[in-house]
Chains A and B, each alone.
Chain A
Amino acid sequence: MTDLSTPDIATTNIEMKVVPDLIETEQRIGLRSIDSTAVFAVVGAAFGAMAFVWLLFTQFTAAGTNIGMFIVWYLVFISMIWVIGREQYDPVRARDLVARVVFWSAGLIIVVPMIAIATYTIAKGVTALTPNFFFQDQSRVGPLSPARVGGASQAIVGTLEQVAIAAIISVPLGILVAIYLNEVGGRLARVVRTIVDAMSAIPSIVAGLFIFASFILAFGGQLSGLAAGLALAVLMLPTVTRTTEVVLRLVPGGLREAGLALGATEWSTTRHVVLPTARSGIVTAVILGVARVIGETAPLLLTTLGAVSMNWSPFEGKQSALPLYVYRLFQLPQEVAIQRAWTGALVLLILVFVLFVTARIIGGRGPGHISRFRRARLAREGLA
């Protein structure tokens, strides 16, 4: 038999010419073949349960078709798999099959609404999605203007600026607090951790009220993008802090010891060893923080109110934001306004998607990934 793992090319070729089927006699074992019994059990149970539920709801009783039908169908489906599993295998394998099906369906149940929300928003919003939606504001939009007139540029700019302000404040602060909690520690750290946890439970309207009462009423600030950014920062801070803390905790202690054993100070070890190792996790923390606030409407109602025309400055005057834009337009009676609101929601989804993909590309790779830019710099220094 020819040993294919160490092919001697000359002999292999000769043998292939002389007895070609000698090579083909190697039969690979199907390690990943599907257990057809289980597949038949699941498919059969699904159809059987459907038939049973149909009979039960329409023929035997007058319940009619409703959501309860689906729940009963699922329970019957699982029970049938259990019974078939017991008949075909044994109770242990039957339990395994049931568990497998339950987890599969949990995964499906999570995916279905996500796809439904996205496709529904795209379907509803895409008709009014024209280039001018990104470049025009609403100042020339009258009550009878068609959906393609005007746009939401003032809301897009507002959202970007307000979220940027929130991120500028809460990302550095959150990372610093996380470093304090994890790298410095001590008795006070437990108190700080509890407070941060409590902060994450603040209802967003309360965050808005807090900024309204402090920044605007007490310190004389105005309703502006800045005020909105501050309110969002209050909401973003606990998410960034706690997520960063978790990823810093995942950095092996041996790396810190290695840094200290080289004669480094604790700060230097944190700066040059711990943070770079946790980089992709910290990017995730920032993404989660942005995701937490980008769709917030309630705090904006109290801090920036919204605007129909473009206001580039977040420091002076009211600003719009995409969630506010959507919220306001949904309240209007005109069909066109509802149409525009859907498009606003779609743009918000697109914005989130673009931000996340960008963040992943910039900083999301694992610590062992050496970027092309860095490799080139090292090569110039003769170190790569």
Chain B
Amino acid sequence: MRDAAFWILALILLAGALVVVSARSLVRAAFGLTAALTATAGLYLLLTAPLLAAVQILLYTGGVLTLVVFAIVVVGGEATGGKFRKPFPAAVAAVAVFATLARVIPSLPAGAPRGGLDAGAAIGASLFFRDYVLPFELLSVLLLSAVLGALLLARKDRPE
């Protein structure tokens, strides 16, 4: 059951990734990314990290893709979105990187992993408010500065 769910999610993830890099229309690529990110959230659930799955759906699929679709509407992706630059060397580089990464697979410890993170409430309640308070608060400063920076970059009457 778990295995079947894993392989179905992995198939959706890979198919979505292929759509992202090959679709001529950028809107279609954005929807491929939606599928890939949602499948990743499902994988996080299988890896016993439900809080991460929720954050993935809320922030990524909700936030980022709304931004991306909005930017595509403003910039326009239909005319130039389908242009590719030398796909063959890029494919060779990608395959080489994959082969290099996959070389670690045989050296992994065999057998079923211990598994189980017992995450969820533990992260929210104890970790963020005890062990990781400072990074958590710094993160809010970073988000604020990113919002201000994005506003400054995108406004029309920008002082030079």
- On whether the two chains bind one another, the answer is no
B binding-site residues for A, Cβ under 8 Å:
none
A binding-site residues for B, Cβ under 8 Å:
none
